[in-house]
Amino acid sequence: MKFSPIDESRLKFGFYPTPIEEMPRLRAVLGGPRLFVKHDDYTGPAFGGNKVRKLEFVLAAAQAEKADAVLTIGTVRSNHARVTAALAAKLGLECHLILSGDFPNTPASLWLDNLYGAKIHRVMAREERASTMQRLADELRAQGRTPYQIPLGASTPLGALGYVRAVTAEIAMANIHFDAVFHSTSSGGTQAGLLAGMEMAGLSTKVVGVSADDCAVEIAARVAQIVAGIGEALDRIFQPAIEVDAGFVGEGYGVATPEGNQATELLARTEGIVLDPVYTAKAMAALIARVRQGRFAADQNVLFLHTGGQMALFSADGNKFGERQI
């Protein structure tokens, strides 16, 4: 199935264009270029984030294949799992989430997965997730069902079209040229879509993906593969300059860093913007470091793509459904 980047056959769940806001008080503290944020934390369903854009294309394919159940993987705090659960509910699809990780308290995302009616399958290790998803899909098929498996982060070429579209239909239409865009990168779909979209729109904007977990080589390889897949789907060859900065991961995925915490406090106190500790705080820390190093001139424009994730700030313990809280 071929999809054009602004294909009207994608499912329309998000509220677009997401706003672009200037951050003058942050600039006053840091000096350097004009700074902007694009609020993909406001995409809409399931408290927003970048997964909404990707799932609009992926779930359209699931529907086209007449799926009656969707399965996906992630951690117990996964934004992707939460958004999948909500959109599956909206489509009337059974949703199976295979989730790894353990927390002393109940992550708000996991609590919401349950609220959206998803069937949760906990596994001990990340490595068990994909095989467990395959086994569950086989079991459903044996029962005469039509399951649709969504890979980690919906970061397939199809899912990445959500970010091709974010560029061609939104960023390219803004009345301002951005010299660079910074964003958090992990499974690679967001970065791949941004890069392909910039090329399609003829924009020279540099895309800097800041790793939330893996080393730069690993993520860049994933991004390259997804970009190649987008090229196949759209009948063109892309030549992206893939830049992944893995200097702000700290101790690892999901572990907050001092630089990230400082970035979070600075954004909250200068602009009233809230970052999340897993992804956006680390990406913003990278942007702040480069601006402080004088890597951008005062007449340049730098965009931060806020990919969401703030649900990771909250736990749901004591928040028993239906109980009076006050």
Ligand X SMILES: *Cc1c(COP(=O)(O)O)cnc(C)c1O
Residues that bind ligand X (CB under 6 A): 49-51, 79-80, 153, 155, 184-191, 276, 279-280, 307-309
Q: Token pair for residue 22? A: 């200037």
Contacts of residue 103, Cβ cutoff 8 Å, sequence gap at least 6: 76, 77, 315
DSSP string, 146-210: -EEEE-GGG-SHHHHHHHHHIIIIIGGGSSS--SEEEEEESSSHHHHHHHHHHHHHT---EEEEE
Residue 283 DSSP one-character state: H
Cβ nearer to ligand X, comparing 72 with 155: 155
Residue 263 CA from chain centroid, whole number? 19
Query: In whole angstroms, how close is the CB of 79 to ligand X at the nearest point?
Result: 3
How many secondary structure helices (H) and strands (E) does the chain include? 10, 10
Query: In whole angstroms, how close is the CB of 269 to ligand X at the nearest point?
Result: 21
- Residue 4: active-site member: no
Residue 63: other Cβ atoms inside 10 A: 15
Catalytic one among 9, 78, 186, 187? 78
Cβ nearer to ligand X, comparing 27 with 82: 82
Query: In whole angstroms, how close is the CB of 315 to ligand X at the nearest point?
Result: 17
Cβ nearer to ligand X, comparing 60 with 278: 278
Residue 21 DSSP one-character state: E
ω into 157 cis (within 30 of 0): no
Closest CA to 67 of 148, 130, 6: 148
- Do the strands 20-22 and 34-39 form a parallel or antiparallel pair, or are they unpaired? antiparallel
**Beta-ladder partners of 69:** 94, 147
Q: Token pair for residue 121? A: 């399958």
Q: What is the largest CA-CA distance in the chain?
A: 62
Query: In whole angstroms, how close is the CB of 213 to ligand X at the nearest point?
Result: 9
3-state secondary structure of 126: helix
Query: In whole angstroms, how close is the CB of 13 to ligand X at the nearest point?
Result: 16
Query: In whole angstroms, how close is the CB of 52 to ligand X at the nearest point?
Result: 10
Active site residues: 78
